[in-house]
Amino acid sequence: MGGWSQASLWAAVVASGLYHGANPAMGWPLALANGLMEKNARALLAALSYLASGHLLAMVAMMAPFAMLAALLPWQREIQIGAALLVIGFGAFLLIRGRHPRALARFPPSRLALWSFAVAIAHGAGLMLIPIYLGLCRPFDADRGHEAARALIEANLGMALIVSAVHATAMIGVGGLLAWLVYRYLGLKFLSRGWFNLDAIWASSVILVSTLALALNAAD
């Protein structure tokens, strides 16, 4: 993996965060509603902090098990290919199913952190990052190939936290900006006229990211 590939992987982490933030399904309209009901911008910002924390925890929860697999260095390539195929399958499932999981109705939006965590898991937001994350971990694996598995796991867990933080920051930045613009300037009429559904695009992007990850593996 050359410098260009590493830069492109980090760009993908940020881009997916920006995309998640723009997607209403990730919760920024709830932050907007909280601000409007309380008639206070601080309420909007507080809601965004809960959404961000839930999203961040979902990213870490999805990537941490793959960080633990760092000990299986001889199977590194197989793990990366398997992860990419898993994400492609999930994206295809989202396209075919075409509706939100009913289980999400059990998490009230008033519990924003829990709701954000559940939505990110159900939509495969963290799953989408796994092929990118594994690509970013590869230099760590090469550098520490002769050290203990514990050191590898710690390095990859650290990378999981960094990737999750960068992604969640980009996500909440865009979502917060949209919520603030509607709250302060655009008004609710903007939502009724300009609402958009990104579900099909989201599922397709999940498949695209994993397909690119497979292509990178094939090129190595």
Confidence band (pLDDT; 50, 70, 90) for 1? very low
Residues 130-188: pLDDT tens digits? 888 887 776 544 444 445 555 666 678 888 899 999 999 999 999 999 999 989 888 77
Q: Which domain holds residue 88?
A: 3-219
Instruction: Compute the distance between CA of residue 107 and CA of residue 113 in angstroms, rounded to an integer.
Output: 10
- CA 193 from chain centre, in angstroms, equals 27
pLDDT at 69: 74
Q: Count the domains in the chain.
A: 1
Please state the pTM of the whole predicted model. Answer: 0.80
pLDDT at 199 > cutoff 90: no
What pLDDT is attached to residue 2?
47
Q: How many CB atoms lie within 10 A of CB 59?
A: 31
Task: Show Cβ contacts of residue 76 under 8 Å, excluding neighbours closer than 6 positions.
Answer: 138, 141
pLDDT at 3 over 70: no
Q: What is the pLDDT of residue 60?
A: 92
- The confidence score (pLDDT) of residue 27 equals 86
Sign of the CA dihedral with 92 first, then 134, 12, and 24 last? positive
**What is the arithmetic mean of pLDDT over 115-138?**
82
Q: Is the dihedral of CA 117, 122, 124, 127 positive or negative?
A: positive
Q: Where is average pLDDT lowest: 41-50, 75-84, 88-97, 141-150?
A: 141-150
pLDDT, tens digit, 9 for 90 and up, residues 28-63: 988 998 899 888 889 999 999 999 999 999 999 988
Rounded to whole angstroms, how far apart are CA atoms 166 and 113? 18
Q: Map the chain to HEC letters.
A: CCHHHHHHHHHHHHHHHHHHHHCHHHCHHHHHHHHHHHCCHHHHHHHHHHHHHHHHHHHHHHHHHHHHHHHCHHHHHHHHHHHHHHHHHHHHHHHHHCCCCHHHHHCCCCCHHHHHHHHHHHCCHHHHHHHHHHHHHHHHHHHCCCCCHHHHHHHHHHHHHHHHHHHHHHHHHHHHHHHHHHHHHHCHHHHHHHCCCCHHHHHHHHHHHHHHHHHHHHHC
| Model confidence band, residue 210 (pLDDT cutoffs 50, 70, 90) | confident
